[in-house]
Amino acid sequence: MKPVKVGLLGLGTVGTGVVRIVQGNQEDLSSQVGSPIYIERIAVKSADKARSIEIDPAKLTTDPWAVIRDPEIDVIVEVMGGVETTREYILEALERGKHIVTANKDLMALHGTEILAKAQEKQCDVFYEASVAGGIPIIRTLIEGFSSDRIVKIMGIVNGTTNYILTKMSQEGASYDDVLKEAQQLGYAESDPTSDVEGLDAARKMSILGTLGFRTNVELQDVSVSGISGVSKEDIQFAKRLGYEMKLLGIAESQNDEFSISVQPTMIRASHPIASVNGVFNAVYVYGEAVGETMFYGAGAGEMPTATSVVADLVAVIKNLKLGVNGLKQIVPYKQKKLKSDDDIYFKNFLLLHVDDKAGVLAKITQVFAECDVSLDSVVQQANPNNPNAEIIIVTHDASKASMNKVLRRFEELEVIRRVKSHYRVEG
């Protein structure tokens, strides 16, 4: 049995997990694919760095091109990160007929269509299960499990950092700043958490899921993004009082081949299955026309969960290699992109208004909603001993995004409104 030789780009957290699994499970993996799997060469930043696994130093190189251009290597596993330079490595590897496994969400979100087209041209595999939701096999599920269905909605908690922060704020009544500091100390958040807390990481992942789910080229700029840095513990308390949980949700919806896609803090009904996903865990809810509701839950990051997805992709590539069917499972977007206009995007809204505490204020506010064609589900006015203004809590029925934007513009001109303290999408 001729061994399959693998080139590994990157030996950080995930790369170490990949080596650990391939070395530790060699017998099981070899029996699945019909030949031994050898990690032949590994590109690293420093060949002298101390490592937690045993590696033959002769396999290490600081030159990724040496791995890409090695004629003995059949498959490139990319877990080094980066975008533009990594794109060059991947395209060159495909040009040379090498198959690709990557965990790089940034690369696939920004250049996935180009890479998949090159793979199709060269009849190579590009698998990227680990790029979204770590250990959850959601990409393979969308490609294979939903191949006969039409996906209507994808809703996901796809960033563990923000889910950890919102969970702690909800369960302990802690402030955003305090929980963020704790998350950084525990290693759940980066020293610069911007990509996570402002929704950019989740947006990249949702663009990948949207592309696969809707079979069209969903680009990063198509995703409407807002993060959780403005969420207060008071907002979460209001949500819980109304029977909701606060989550940073990626939401992609398709109707008549037109789609909308967003990432935003969302109040989700507490009875919805995704509302119970807490801590650093991820979940992806998928609604198909035929199958109805489904949900996939698991670890969204970490060495071994992510490495498990990477090695599963590696096994799939090698099985295809043995059968001579590489390049047949690439999902290259084929539908024309049609983004929904704001007039066609409907959802419920939660608003917390600080207003003058005097007669007639509520009537003026409800008049604005009526004139903008937004109907109200509930309105509660209350006094707050810590606020000289009155507080009005409003939940709307489904309203178009365009109509709600009109309401918010009108509120800027309405003298009785001191400020719109909070505005969130409501689901469930």
**What residue spans of 260-302 are helical by DSSP H?**
none
Structure tokens at 92: 């060159």
**Residue 9 CA to its chain's centroid (Å):** 23
Active site residue 205: yes
Closest C-alpha among 54, 66, 59 to residue 38 = 59
Tell me whether residue 426 is exposed, middle or buried, using C-beta atoms within 10 angstroms of its C-beta: 0 to 12, 13 to 18, 19 or more: buried
Contact assessment for residue 350 and residue 421, using Cβ atoms and an 8 Å cutoff: no
Give the single-character DSSP code of 33: H
Contact assessment for residue 142 and residue 285, using Cβ atoms and an 8 Å cutoff: no
Closest C-alpha among 275, 228, 245 to residue 170 = 245
212 by DSSP, 3-state: which?
A: helix
Across 179-280, the runs of DSSP E, i.e. the strands, are 224-225, 244-255, 258-269
Contact assessment for residue 268 and residue 278, using Cβ atoms and an 8 Å cutoff: no
Give the single-character DSSP code of 335: B
Across 289-384, the runs of DSSP E, i.e. the strands, are 292-299, 346-355, 376-384
Rg for the chain, CA atoms, rounded: 24
C-alpha pair distances (Å), 192 with each of 151, 189, 338, 394: 35, 8, 35, 35
Alpha-carbon distance of 380 to 394, in angstroms, equals: 7
Beta bridge partners of 296: 284
Catalytic residue among 118, 205, 247, 421: 205
State the sign of the Cα–Cα–Cα–Cα dihedral 45, 46, 50, 56. positive
Contact assessment for residue 354 and residue 417, using Cβ atoms and an 8 Å cutoff: yes
**Residue 29 CA to its chain's centroid (Å):** 29
Structure tokens at 407: 């309401």
Structure tokens at 117: 């087209």
**Residue 46 CA to its chain's centroid (Å):** 31
Active site residues: 205
